[in-house]
Amino acid sequence: MITPILLAAGASTRMGRPKALLDFDGKTCLELALEAVSGLGTPIVVLGPHREEVRSRVGLEGVRIAVNDDVQSGQTGSLKKALLQLPDGAGGFLFYPVDCPLVSTVEVSRLVEAYSRKSSGEKSIFVPSHGMRRGHPVLCRREIAREFLALPDGAPARSVLSARPERLAYVLFDEAYILMDMDTPQDYARCLEAYRERRGRSGP
């Protein structure tokens, strides 16, 4: 079983409003993320200062909630809060920042396929890649959790990915969707345009 971890605890200071609730033609970013991981185990959603507003607008029945109110602890702090709730039956975990709205079940399924191949036994971190750049979400075998938990809050999660490059498996994608995230209103406009283009290609 793979447990998805959806990171939605950021203060969204530069965006000016909660990124988890940004609208993509009737669906919030958090709802899109929940759809993308729908074939996996019970998600753990990490919420922060905007959690009451998020709870009021997004149905979170059937998910686990972790809370990280310390915005200074960053993405690593949120990931650590979730990993403390990782169920015993989870063989791996997928950590997924909520501000990556172009990721879909297509990308998640490709990562899971790579993780599940017998030939991947020596690899423990599966990273989506486009144009020699790393994207999100990242899929890890369970044993990697202790390395993230050992990081100081605020330390970049990528330090675990970079520690031993030989254990990384890069899953290559032709499209740049796995690289697209949002920090500013301009980023949101760019992602919304790309989202509509992607839906236009694949149908409603």
Query: What domain range is 140 assigned to?
Result: 2-202
Please state the domain count of the chain.
1
pTM: 0.90
Between strands 168-172 and 125-130, the pairing is parallel
Q: In whole angstroms, give the CA distance from residue 44 to residue 176.
A: 26
Per-residue pLDDT of the chain (204 residues; tens, 9 = 90+): 999 999 999 877 888 889 999 999 999 999 999 999 998 999 999 998 888 999 999 989 889 999 998 877 778 889 999 999 999 989 999 999 999 999 999 999 999 999 988 666 688 999 999 988 999 999 999 999 999 999 887 788 888 988 888 899 999 999 899 999 999 999 999 999 999 998 885 544
Say which DSSP state 61 is in.
T
- CATH code of residue 79: 3.90.550.10
Element containing residue 163 per DSSP (H, E): helix 158-163
Instruction: Give the Cα-Cα-Cα angle 151, 157, 160 (nearest 5 degrees).
Output: 75
Element containing residue 57 per DSSP (H, E): helix 51-57
